[in-house]
Each structure stands twice: as C-alpha cells, then as structure tokens.
Structure 1
C-alpha cells in the first residue's frame, strides 16, 4: 500500500476543510456583526446567560478555542470576571458541536451529498462574489463558498483513507484505542492540540468513520480527548497574561478534564461490563455528532451547579486571586481582535468608561474653585493622568482594529470613536486647568466676589450639563440628547460673552479682586471650550446614528 498516496490527499483535504470552515465562519460573523455586538451586553447577566452567549458565539465562529481565547482576553482586560467566564466556557463546548452536524448531514440529509452539492455551492458562491456589489452579498458568498469547501475537504479526506479499510494494521490501532481508554483519550487530545481545533479534529474522525474504520468505543474516548486537547490554544494564549486570565484558561482545562473523567468511567462500565459487544461496532458520522453533542451538553448540565467549585479549584491550583482593577489600565485585549465586531463593541464600552471618569472630574471641578480643597485639586490632576493613559491605550487599540478586515460602517464607527476620545481627553485637560486655577486662588488667598461666584456657577452648570448630555447621547445613541447638547453649547457661547462683559465692568469699577478676576476669565474660556468639545461629541453621535 502506497501511504504517500493516502497522506497527500488527506492533508490537502484537511487544509481545504479548515479553510472552508474559517471563511464560512468569517462570513457568518460579518453577517451577524451587530447581533454579536449586542451579545456582549449579556456579559453583565448571570452565568446561565453566559452559557447561552458562549454557545451562540461559538456556533457562529465555529471554534471553541477562539471563543475561549476571547474569554481569556476579556478576563485579562477586566471586562469579565471568572464567574462570567465560566459560563461562556461551558457554552463554548456546546456551540462547537455545530460543525460536526454539518459534516454528518451527508448521512441524514441525502440531498446534501457533497459529491453533487459541494461543487455547486462553490460555483454559486463565486458567482455571488463576482456579481454582488453589496456587503451582504459578499458575506453570503463567503458562507456558501466556505460551506462547499468544507464538504469538498471532508470528501477528500474520506476518499483518501478509504484504502485503509484493507489494512489490518490500521484497524488494529483503532481496536487498541477502543480497548484502552487512556490511549484513546491521549490520541484525541494530541491530534487536537497539534491542529488546535476540536472542530477539525472531529472532522478528521468523521472522515475515518465514513471509511468504516472507527469502532464505537474508540470514537467515544477520542472525542473525550479532543475536548481536552482544544484547551491548549487558550493555555498558550494566557501565557504572559495576568494571573486571573491564566486562571480562566485553567478553568477551561479543569472543566473538560472533570467531564472526561466522569463520562470515561460511565463508558468503561458500559463497554466493559454491561454491553461489551457495543464497543466493537463501527460508528457512523451522525453517531459521532450525537456522541459529541451529548457529551458536551451532558458535561455542562452536570457541572453547571458546581461550576463555582471549579473556579475555586482553578484559583487554588494557580494560587491566585482575582486582581484588583486599576482604572487607568485600558480594558482591551489583543485576543479579542480575533472577533472584530466584539472588539469594536469593547472599544465603545471603554470610551464610555473613559467618559464617565471625566464626568466625575467635572463634578469635582464644579465645586473646587469655591472650596479650594487640596484633595479635590490633587484628585483632578490624578484623573487627568488616568485619562491620558486611557486615551493613548484606546487609540492604539483602535488603530490595530482598523487594520483588520472590517466593514466600511465599522471603519466609520472607529473614526467617530477616535474623535470622541480626543474630545473627552481635551475636556479632562480643562478639568486639570481648573484645578490649577483653584491652586492659584488658594496660594494667593483670594476669592471670587459673591456675584462673580454666582455667575460662574451658572456657567459651570450649563457647560457641565452639555457634556453630560453628550455622554448620554453617545452611550444611548440618542439623537434627542445630542441635539440638546447643541442647544446647551449655544447657550454657553452666549453666556460666556455676557459674563465676560459684565466681569470686565466690575474690574473697571474695582468691584472685585484683580487676581481673582484673571482666574474668572480663564475659567470662562475653559468652560466654553468644554462645551465646544461636548458639541463635537454630539455631532459625532448624530453622524453615526444618521
């Protein structure tokens, strides 16, 4: 038997299978982009919602490894805690079974026969790709072409290994794997760890099953091993991450190991004691899908009530506690870039968090000129340093995101976000300026006159309200609040002219201290510019929701 004639078509088929799976997943992800963004909001919900989220995202991107890598990224960025991560990890194991059902559909849906349907799907996808001008057409084309290539790949693998039916040595290998659970589990784990895709590993097993080479018991143990092998990607991804991110990867490994141990014991009892004859029968592709799905759902249902214990065990083994969050650290992680639509939504959340920090600064700036408290002055300076770090980090991340394959609309959204980051950062600068003005008043032991204080408070109210409306407009995508900002900004412009004129008259009439008067005028300039930047944010919102 010429094994080279088997290996080359098999490897080529595997490559086509993986490539087809990737471009189909990319098309699905792009088509579901907005929905995937909204799925991110589920992260704030309970663990059960996390399971559903993990299953949904994995079903779209067709890779539990990719989902878990994203989870490690979320935990490392501080967006997700370990309890939420546990739910998503459990769901990812369920969502990854989708590919197996696509492959096995050639058995339970005869009209999907790859020999006839796959070439038609590829040709149809290419026609749509060449003739379609809309973005949605390109996404549909990717899904259809990927679907066709996936089936061509699995057909190529199955045809390549068909001659091995005559090889007693190859058959004996699978018999050995079926008789020795540990070897079967190790074989599944090793192959999956090497190719770093449980979906592709299951596809390989199904191609061997199509050739009638895999006994039932061997398939069971190999499938369990595949679930362990798929953890290698997240573990490698967690290297260099924070301790609690490494804990998330360890949770994934523990979850799959515990599930494998439980169901291996059940399988051993069944095949060795209750029904020994069941293990020697040849498994079909559909039966592999059933076993794979039952195993992952069963493990999730069984371990869901005790998932908090798994978290504790992972933390104990890793000797870590969840890190305290430094608010100046950008809560974005390069691992999330694997799914650009979610990375974009994470960036939106981070810009909003930066905006809330500046809102808190403005609340302090509103009173610091009158109280002159040193702790408030120092707070504003520290917050400005925090905002500078966030601005730089968000900008760097957005640039990385813009270099990926994202839609024109997402490029526009990124451009709006970058402009908003710049405006928010400038407002923070003005808050620091106000703290310096307060410092000047304190050092020179001067204060505003009663009428000056009253007028300044009026200006503060208008300008700070304009920013708060702008932030709410951004967070809620509200046209009404964005238009309210424009009203406030116009009011601030008029008020600044009026108050400046009145103040100059008071200075001329010696009705207020000259040094305090200079601070008054400088503060008016800062506040008017704050309202200008708030208007810029509002206009970005109006453009993005148009």
Structure 2
C-alpha cells in the first residue's frame, strides 16, 4: 500500500509546489503588465472575459486573478459589472491546466524532461537574483519541471491502483455514481484548495482506463464546483465588494455545473470532435480536458442573458449603510435624453447629498458644542456620491441642452462644491481639540455654536431659504474679539487662543458652506429658478 500511497502524496505535493512556483514566477516575470491588462481591458464584457481568461492561462492561477480583481473593485478601478466578467474569464482560462496535463504531462518522459527543467530553472534563478523579472522566469521554468514531475508520479501511483479500481466495477455503480464522483471532485478541490490539483488527479486516474469517461467527467464538474471554496474562504471577513465577487464566482460555477450535467453525453461527444478537429491526442485525459473547456464556455453562454440581473442582485447583497448612501437614488441614465427631467433628478440628488452632509456636520459638532466622533467612512461615502453626481452631469452635457438647463447645471455643480467644502470643514473640526471655555469665553462660544447649528437647521429647510450669512459673521466677529481680548488681558494663553481662532474660522466655514449650498439649490428643487444668487 505504501508503494502506491507514497508516489500519490509525493506527486500531489510536487504538482502543487510546481503550480505555486509557476504562478509566482510568471507573475514576477510579467511585472505590471498583467495589472495593466486587468485595468485597461475590462471596459466591455467581452474584453473583461478575454482578459480574465488570458491572465489566468498565463499565470496558471484563477485564484490569483480573482484576488487581484477583488483588489481592483475595492480600489474603485473596476465596477462589479466589469469584475464578474473577469472572474468568468478566469474560469475559462484555468482549463489550460487540463490541456497541459493531458497533452504534455502524461505523454512525455517526465524524468527526462522534468529534472533538467528543475535544475536549470533553480540555477538560473540563483544567478539572476539581482534581475527580478528574469529570475521570475527562471523560477517558472523550475515550476514547470516540478509540475511535470508531480504529474509523472501521480500517473505512476494510479497505474498501480488500476487493478483495484477496475475491480470496483464503476460502470455498474448505478444512478448514484455520478453524484458521488461530483462530490469526490469537489472535496479534492476543497481539500487541496486547487482545482488544478483535482484535475491532475482526475486525469491521471483516468489515463489507465479504470475510471469510466462519464464518471471522470463528473469529477471534473465537481472540481469546478469545489474551486468556489477558495473564493468563499477568502471573502470571510472581507469587504462587501469582495464577497460579491466571490458570490459571482459561485453563481457562475453553479450555472455551469447544471448545464454540464444536463448535456453531459452531448458535451463528451463534442469533446471528441474538438480533439479530432485540432489533431490532438484523442484519449480519455484529452477528452476530459476538452470537456472542461467546452462546458466552461457553455457556462459563459448560459450566464450571458442572466448577467444584468445577476449584477443587480449582487449589488444588493452585503450592503452597508454607507454603500446605500454612496449610491444615487434619483439618477437614471434613461433620463439623459429628457434634459428637464434629468435636471430635476439632479436637483433632488444634490439635495440628498446636501442634507446628508448637514447631518454629518451636525454629528461632528455635537450637542451644545461638545465634540463627538463621527465615522470617517460616512464622509467617504458622501464623496463617492458627489463623484457619481458629477459623472451624471458629465453625461448630461454631451446632449443638447436648453439655456435654462445649462444654468441649472452651473448652480448644481456649485452645490456639490459647497457640500464638499462643508465635508472638509467638518473633518477639520473633528481634528481640532475642544475649546477652553472659561467664564469670560463661554457666552461667545455658545453664541457661535448656536449660530452654526441654526445655520445647519435652516439650510435643511426644503421649502424656504433664509440667508444666515450676516448672523454667522456677527457671531464670528464677537467670538474673535472675545478671544483676542482674553489674550490681551492675560486670562488665556496664546496656544488656546490661536487654536480657538482656527476653530472659530472652521465653524464659520461650516455655516457659510451650508448656507451657500442651500442658496444655490434655490428653487431648482421645485422645478423653478432661484430668484437671486450672489456670485461666489
């Protein structure tokens, strides 16, 4: 038994080590090229699919591509809609491993090929340590050697198991055989955390003919299902974006598996035709490799009409309050061809942005002037919302606009700017220490804080606009005079007075930004035009 178990475990270990070395080496050798492709080649679904397939085939790791895609989504460089097509492409690209094993690994003298590759690759890697990209290529060569060495050992192990497997009479196992082999394939992938390892085991086991083609194909389907475990494990405790990409992976592989099972005889027949047409080796491992590629391409065709709904469904999963804030509620690209409706929706979204910023400023200010800590991520969410509104305005400017709509856009852009000034001032207020309020200073501070809170409250009134600029300036000048008098009298030191003046200026900015944003919104909320807006 140990004569079979030792090469089986050793072959699996060498195969996985070779895959890891290949992946790391190829990624190092490629440098930033793969990231550039991933960032630039994803603007359409077809390009995202091709990019995912190409990069995965190049680095021999769908997990690496999925992790990189998640990083791009988290950084805002890829939308969810773009990312899911990269993931779908990665599933197609990962089928390259089956072709390598079936057409190369199981056909060559693995000792004569693998050992020189390992030796030359490692020697070259040591000699090229100072040149990372060349060293990475050398490491990949050594990885290929270990890859083929592992396949050879697996083939040797399963050749010894062929009589025992044949004695099981798998052909007559009945209706439970296919579900059982699907489970075996999924478990192999989950345990090794590598669908490539599960494929190598399946192809090696089928090479001797002991495992029937249909059951080996079921194990391949199971390996495809099991590969989702890597993405699911990586998404535990991760961001909502990461979990959505992982769920896209699960959804694609589930649809693909259902389609492959439903059309299993037809796909196996087609795989034979592919091998004959391409003049490749037509045996059980070759047909399994072709089957793996065909049913993943079938999965792309099946998911194509479902992708828009899938994207919308995923966008609603794992949603956080801040993400809900960052998504526009009133903007719809269908309104772009009707400028009056588009401007109306823009005004409503700007009002939403403005009032949410007012709420955040109030949280930073706190009750009775006491400083509280408001979440920075809420401010970031509002910044994302402002960016989405700007994108919509940019799209709207591409169509012909009547003069009144153009004037509205100018005012609404200024609303966004004033709101961003309000957010910046609020963040600055949070970073400042609470003011020192002795008996002489407290009335002036209370007056300034009361005026700022009143300005925020008035700016949140949708029906009427009241100009609070004069009262704000009066409260500011009174506080500044009191602070400077306290410094002159010696009742307050330079540090507290200096910090107090900065805080007073920030409070004035908050009040004026709130007032200016509400003034610019004017009557655009009700479909009208502001009566008078001072230039700013």
State the alpha-carbon separation in 2 of the partners of residues 9 and 319 from structure 1. Answer: 45
Cα distance in 1 for residues equivalent to 2:43 and 2:174: 42
SS state at 2:173 partner: helix
Aligned to 1:130: 126
Correspondence for 1:113: 109
1:209-224 paired onto structure 2 within 5 Å: 209-224=206-221
Quote the residue 1:13 is aligned against.
Answer: 11
CA contact (8 A) 1:214 1:283 kept: no
Q: State the partner residue of 2:195.
A: 198
Output the CA distance in 1 between the equivalents of 2:292 and 2:429: 51
The 8 Å contact of residues 100 and 289 in structure 1, kept in 2 or not, is answered as yes
Cα separation, partners in 2 of 1:45 and 1:270, compared to 1, 3 Å: closer
State the TM-score, normalizing by the size of structure 2: 0.56
Higher Cα radius of gyration: 2
Q: Encode CA deviations 1:225-244: one digit per residue, 9 max, x unaligned.
A: 11110001111222223445
Q: Secondary structure at the match of 1:186?
A: helix
Q: Tell me how far 1:377 sits from its aligned partner.
A: 6.0
- Deviation sequence 1:189-235 (CA, Å, 0-9, x none): 12111211111110111221233322110122111111110001111
SS at match of 1:240: coil
Q: Is it true that 1:294 corresponds to 2:267 in the alignment?
A: no
Give 3-state SS (helix, strand or coil) of 1:305's partner. Answer: coil
Deviation at 1:245?
3.3
Task: Structure 1 unaligned segments of length 5 or more: list them.
Answer: 276-281, 328-349, 361-372, 389-438, 447-514, 520-546
Instruction: Give yes or no for the alignment of 1:248 onto 2:227.
Output: no
> Quick one: distance in 2 between partners of 1:90 and 1:47?
10
- CA shift for structure 1 position 73: 4.2
* Partner Cα distance (1:223, 1:321) in 2: 37
Over 3 Å counting, the alpha-carbon distance change for 1:380 and 1:442 in structure 2 is farther
The equivalences for 1:477-516 within 5 A come to none
| Most deviating of 244-253 and 318-327 | 318-327
CA contact (8 A) 1:171 1:213 kept: no
The residue aligned with 1:310 is 310
Is the counterpart of residue 96 in structure 1 residue 94 in structure 2?
Answer: yes
* 1:54 aligned residue (52, 55, 67): 52
After TM superposition, list the pairs within 5 Å mapping 1:425-436 onto structure 2. Answer: none
Q: Structure 1 residue 161 and structure 2 residue 205: aligned?
A: no
Unpaired runs of at least 5, structure 2: 273-281, 328-379, 391-416, 433-471, 480-497, 503-536
Distance of 2:7 and 2:49 partners within structure 1: 38
SS in 2 for 1:116: helix
Report the equivalent of 2:469.
none
* Number of equivalenced pairs: 349
Of Structure 1 and Structure 2, the greater helix share is in 1
Provide the residue aligned with 1:331 in structure 2: none
Aligned residue among 229, 253, 259 for 1:232: 229
Q: Is the 8 A contact 2:80 2:315 kept in 1?
A: no
- Residue in structure 2 matching 1:34, options 26, 32, 35: 32
